[in-house]
Homo-oligomer: A and B are copies of this chain.
Amino acid sequence: MKTIKTVKEMKEIVDSYKASFNKTIGLVPTMGYLHDGHLSLIKRAREENHIVIVSVFVNPTQFGVNEDYEIYPKDIKRDKELAEAAGADYMFHPTVEEMYPTGHKTYVEVLDITDKLCGASRPGHFKGVTTIVNKLFQIVEPNRAYFGLKDAQQVAVVQQMVRDLFLNTEIVPCPIVREPDGLAMSSRNILLSPEDRQAALILSKGLMEAKKIVDCGEKNVFTIKEKIIKIISQEPTVNIDYIEMLQFPTLEAVSIIGGKVLIAIAAKVGNVRLIDNIIMEE
């Protein structure tokens, strides 16, 4: 696996593949500190494409002023080893100045579906996401790009951008990967104290309980939500940001469960903001 630091060199490599043969490129965009969730994306990309590019870039424009940009975990040496072992051909690891050169002024924004869930709690977050994903797509020209469903709203927003701007990239949403005890994998999990790590399990527990009662016939969103709140409230160190049930991927409001429904949770566990969700198809 080769590591590429500049847009110019990355574009030259992409051009060489595009020109010589009909090679397909799979992109796995990440903020690094790779875990098994990321690796599942890389492995899937490996199966489906001739060339696999993993980007590692902690994107400043998707962090709010009081968020964890400065302390976001990093270990590029380990990331390289893991990405290579999972089958990546290239790691694209640019600097902030490379992706946002002095004087940059352009943003890509998806309206409406970015106002809810994490978009409501983190204003500007998805504008940062769509801007950086758009830049990466222009540089890498991927045939397919792989995103984990842990951030289900991100999948919906990026798919909307691809559709609206007629981008030539297929978005491949991939299932959440969980620790054996149910905690959704996240680079931020390392920031949890051992006690908070234990308390955080209540999030996936709440979701699994919700699924159970839906499977048993409960279709009223308000009732299900109350049930999840009751479960999560058992952990006093877990502060719910939101629990929402929405149609997926339109993110439209829903009052009675039907079709494809996202149950999404965001909560602060200690100082760490975590998200988790399940998508149910009725």
Contacts and interface: CB of A to CB of B under 8 A. Distances in A.
A235 B109 CA distance: 43
Nearest to A164: B106
Interface in A106-156: 106-113, 130, 134-135, 138-139
Nearest to A111: B105
Given A110-B105, A110-B106, A139 B160 contact: no
Contacts of A101: 163-164
A165 B110 contact: no
Contacts of A165: 106, 108, 134-135, 138
Query: Most chain-B Cβ atoms within 10 A of its Cβ — which of A112, A163, A165, A167?
Result: A165
A112 B108 contact: no
B106 A166 contact: no
A234 B1 CA distance: 70
A65 interface: no
A167 B164 CA distance: 17
A216 interface: no
A59 B168 CA distance: 22
A254 interface: no
A179 B261 CA distance: 61
A201 interface: no
A104 interface: yes
Contacts of A7: 166
A161 interface: yes
A109 B111 contact: no
B22 A19 contact: yes
A11 interface: yes
Contacts of A138: 165-168
A128 to B, nearest CB: 13
A235 to B, nearest CB: 36
A124 to B, nearest CB: 13
A11 B166 contact: yes
Given A134-B165, A166-B139, A160 B110 contact: no
Nearest to A250: B103
| Those 6 A-B pairs whose CB atoms lie nearest each other, nearest first | A106-B164, A138-B166, A105-B111, A104-B164, A105-B112, A106-B110
